[in-house]
Structure 1
């Protein structure tokens, strides 16, 4: 499920598993820039795929950054910025997102 105002940047592959849900205003980004010199801080562009596992739930207004895998059954709380992989069946929150619950019930 993709709710209203979601953004899927497709500079690389985005894989969304069965029964995953993306809340209002979620951004899935597949590209960013290296830090450049002082004359142009947005340096060389790089692309990396994003995977959102089956049954995962991405809360409203969260941002999934390039190269991240959100595991099956994981939950990303609203307004989180995910810059690292999220283990399956865990719950993360914050900016940057950190693990709040390591193992949600199945």
Structure 2
């Protein structure tokens, strides 16, 4: 999502690793949105990912969609529930995107 927020400015986006746990200066992470699904084997990793920047004072919004499964964002055209989760995730990301890089 960070890379999308930088709208193709890959050099600038590269300053923000895909995982906060790979970042040696987590407090410099941009505001973060983490969307998780109830039927997702990676859910514990997503929760840990969200906790790390939050512990350093970075604004983090965690969205949890208990009826969804891991690739739910890609199923928005086929499922009203996935479409709602997709919309909520995009709206949350849109609220933090203007603050990235400031």
User: Relative contact order (alpha carbons < 8 A, sep ≥ 6): 1 or 2 greater?
Assistant: 2
TM range (shorter): under 0.3
With normalisation by structure 1, the TM-score equals 0.25
With normalisation by structure 2, the TM-score equals 0.25
Q: Which has the higher helix share?
A: 2
Q: Which has the higher strand share?
A: 1
